[in-house]
Amino acid sequence: MIKLLISDDSAFMRIAIRKMVEGHSDIQVVGEARTGQMCVEMAENLRPDVITMDVEMPVMDGLEATRQIMARCPTPIIMLSSLTERNSVTTIKALELGAVDFIAKKSSFVQLDIVKIGDELVDKLRYWAKKRARFSSGGIKPERSRIDPGTPVFQRKTENQGIPGLVVLGISTGGPATLPQTLKAMGKLKCPMVVAQHMPPMFTSGFARHLSTETGLNVVESSDGMEAKPGMVIIIKGGTDAVIREPFPGRIMLYERTSTEANIHPNADVLFRSAATVSCPVVAVVMTGMGRDGMVGAQELVTRKACPVLVQSPDSCIVDGMPSSVIEAGLATAVLDPAALGARLGRMAGVGALLNASVN
């Protein structure tokens, strides 16, 4: 039985969440908190398996409640956040503090929205309840990889292709807490980096600003028809996909082309496939996340351009599905933790890359 604690200052929302889960015999609501302070106290007393946390609450907001719960009684926390700039920034900060996931909700529900969110919520409650044992003070421990750490990982060898003209990166669950580590270790690149971070609309603009503040890099949200310039880290606009085009050599452009075939957006496979069309050397990066997004696109990049594919080590991931799928397909040229991955990118495409042109 999954013990759920609901935290929301809206009586309507507490009723709505209860209605979402009450038809599932494996989920039991053990408490409802109206403030962040109540949530902290009930988390300690009730020891739920999962908590749903509203972002904005009186007395103590969801951010501070998350901080205190992860320090006192670490528990999987799923943030419920309205699609606003302010709430998106707070949600991203909560994810850095230890919240494991989030669900975007409209400010005012209609019945269809409740049904859609209910399905997503139940799936995430079940997933994170299974991971309950991985929690300790300070947050979630990296997932035990399905790849045996004692087994040597096959890593492709690539010939030196010169300094990359583009870096493309796919990342999902765990990204807000992990990506800053990589960017800080990476530093400014001599080429653009384009990031497909699975996120809904309204969240990526705040995420880009947060990363810019955290890292000191030029991190921006994408726009349709923008030029990707050296030194930019471009976060693809939430809820959309982006494709790379090169109208003439050396000029890299991004266009919004949401794929009907992709089941999640922004989609790394869509990004990677389009990057295979440019004339310059490309480096692909696949980091923490559920599923297999990025694997097919990495395969196309390898087939068409024989490019390096850097992969986050599964044992350092919050969820290792995406990087493990690339490793299992034999596409990885390096398997590194987030900071080492950033350092490798810095050597390959950073300010000092001319002195390290032989490093892959």
Active site residues: 172, 198, 293
Cα distance between residue 241 and residue 148, in whole Å: 33
Cα distance between residue 168 and residue 163, in whole Å: 14
Task: Please give the full DSSP string across 225-268, using - where no structure is assigned.
Answer: TEEE-TTEEEEPPTT--EEEEEEETTEEEEEE---SS-SSSS-H
Number of Cβ within 10 Å of residue 332's Cβ equals: 26
DSSP-derived pairing of the beta strands 309-312 and 334-336: parallel
Contact 269, 297 (CB under 8 A): yes
Q: What is the token pair recorded at 322?
A: 């995406």
1, HSE (Cβ side, Cα atoms, 13 Å): 10
Question: Which DSSP symbol is given to 145?
Answer: P
Helix (H) or strand (E) holding 115: helix 111-130
Cα distance between residue 97 and residue 69, in whole Å: 10
Contact 270, 259 (CB under 8 A): yes
